[in-house]
Chain A
Amino acid sequence: MSIKLSKLVDSLIESSPPVELKEVSNLINKLTNDQSIIDDSILSFIEENGIIYQDYIISNLNKDKQSSKYIDYIRKQLFNVDFKQGKIIDLEDYAPNQQYPDYFDDLVDKLEQYGQDYYPSTFASTIIPNEDSIHVILIGQRSNNANFYTGQWNSKYTIKSNGEISGKIKLDIHYFEDGNVRLKFNEGVTGSIDNLTSSNILNFINNQESKIILKLIENFNNLNQQQFKNLRRLLPVTRSNINWGNAIGNYRLGSDVVNKK
């Protein structure tokens, strides 16, 4: 039962909004009291997706292989997370073995500035140095329960030492006033830069994200103008409300009115 149960809980939690894990965990706990299965499942969701707690990012990319903790390569710290309290715990100093690229510190500053300029809510960024590449994670998230919504913008890039860049951008918004509406978006980006400098890296990221935002707006408009309008008209072709009652059959007689698009 427990393997089956953990699969089932995984599948529920996979469809949770990234910023509502605490609430989802509490609700599932009321249906099954196996809290350890829920905790495991929530943690793997957090690692897979990447989420900000306080101003630390948790993801499988900065997971320490030796301990069960996570590494902040910028602040040179190890830490853990208590997602129920929404808190970072067990902070300790850490001396990374990885070689940092020479643009590292400058990129840290530029990402911080970029976050301030383009991410209006909670923002965090982190860089994970590897042997011949770095990972950059940028997350902007918002929880606005008073106005019934939460959302997260989440982008991850891998920048190789030869200048090749690949990335994945995800957007997930949940609106829940008298209903349950969800926006989900994800798209991969690839490209390359000539010189590995912090400016070139930041410009690449900024250009890609700005392009995607513009494309998203265009797609919003297309979905509105085409799909939504084609599903149900605001008013009939006659531009007036239906004349209900015995006369309604007249619409059938004038079937050209009914079938004209």
Chain B
Amino acid sequence: MSDEDKLDSSLSLLRRLDPRVIESNLTNICTLLGSDDSVVEELLSSVDVPLKIQTCKQSGKDYLCCDYNRDADSYRSPWSNKYYPEIEDNDEELPPPYPSSILRQLEIKANDSFDIYRDLYYEGSGVSSVYLWDTSENEDSGLDDGFAGVVLFKKETSDSLGKWDSNHVFEVIPESEHRILYKLTTSVILDLNSNEMNLSLSGNLIRQLETSQLVELNNGINLETQHLINLGQLIEKSEYNIRNLLQDVYFDKLKDIMLKDLRSIGDIKEKKYEDSKQSELIKGLNSV
């Protein structure tokens, strides 16, 4: 079996199995894959698991950990640009990755902006983090050749029964001198548990969105600010869409499947009768 088949099978399997135990299932699948290091690595980087929180020692602020700010067992803080646990300087190994200095300036501003976004949408609680990385070979290109990044939010209800992890990975690709393509993949892990009965609704949804924007630098807005506006609007829109979708799937679709496919609330015969009555009523209204 080829590596690609193994990766596809692993991902398909994770889409079938209970998302609430995705971490242990992922560990078990990695054990099954055994010595296939490249498949394991690829799998770990393409599956979203609930985000871990770490505290930045320098700023005292919490930040989120994912594959994009990781180096071995350390994670880079977006607030101080430092890795924790700290990485010792070592001549034999490559230094851990950092964004170029121009990109780091944008990363600082993006973290500020999305921290405000978090305050507004997550009602003052939760944690946000933004990580950017260079995609161009040419280190001196600044922002002109595009870049990529991830915007993360995590929040729990005060009783810890509800958990939200959202993960927006994007790529910024210059299409021409005045046009930039923003490609976004949004995934949200939502885990809800009833405090009255043994009922849980959990899982994740993924959606993609992209937008192509004209760059207008003549009205006092520089390229950096232009990126902040475009990315902010795109992510705000995508999170709005996926929140509506989650509402639809978790509360309407699942309830419908329960009542219409598995155990109806009333006698099906009566229901069928009422449905036909209602459709007649609608027909009647439409003809008015």
Interface status of B258 (Cβ within 8 A of chain A):
yes
Chain A minimum-CB-distance residue to B8: A30
Q: Residues of A contacting B122 with CB < 8 Å? A: 231-233
Instruction: Determine the interface band of chain A, counting residues with CB < 8 A from chain B.
Output: 35 or more
Q: Residues of B contacting A89 with CB < 8 Å? A: none
| Complex Cα spacing A231 to B229, Å | 24
| Complex Cα spacing A232 to B203, Å | 16
Q: Residues of A contacting B19 with CB < 8 Å? A: 180-182
CB distance from B263 to the nearest CB of A (A): 5
**Residue pair A213, B202 in contact (C-beta under 8 Å):** no
Interface residues of A in 209-259 (CB under 8 A from B): 209-210, 213-217, 219-224, 227-228, 230-238, 241-242, 244-246, 248-249, 251-252, 258-259
CB distance from B139 to the nearest CB of A (A): 27
Interface status of B179 (Cβ within 8 A of chain A):
no
| In the complex, per-residue mask of B13-32: 1 if CB is within 8 Å of any chain A CB, else 0 | 11111111100110011011
**Residue pair B232, A242 in contact (C-beta under 8 Å):** yes
Interface residues of B in 84-143 (CB under 8 A from A): 112-113, 116-117, 119-124
Q: Residues of A contacting B263 with CB < 8 Å? A: 118-119, 140, 153, 171, 209, 213
Chain B minimum-CB-distance residue to A237: B120
Interface status of A185 (Cβ within 8 A of chain B):
yes
| Complex Cα spacing A187 to B202, Å | 18
Chain A minimum-CB-distance residue to B122: A232
**With A173-B257, A183-B201, A185-B197 given, is the CB distance from A223 to B120 under 8 Å?**
no
Chain A minimum-CB-distance residue to B158: A230
Interface status of A74 (Cβ within 8 A of chain B):
no
Interface residues of B in 139-195 (CB under 8 A from A): 153, 155, 157, 161-164, 166, 187, 190, 192, 194
| Complex Cα spacing A173 to B263, Å | 12
| Complex Cα spacing A179 to B260, Å | 22
CB distance from B188 to the nearest CB of A (A): 9
The 13 sampled A-B contact pairs (Cβ below 8 Å) are A8-B31, A12-B25, A116-B268, A153-B258, A180-B203, A182-B20, A187-B197, A219-B196, A230-B123, A234-B243, A242-B236, A245-B221, A246-B221
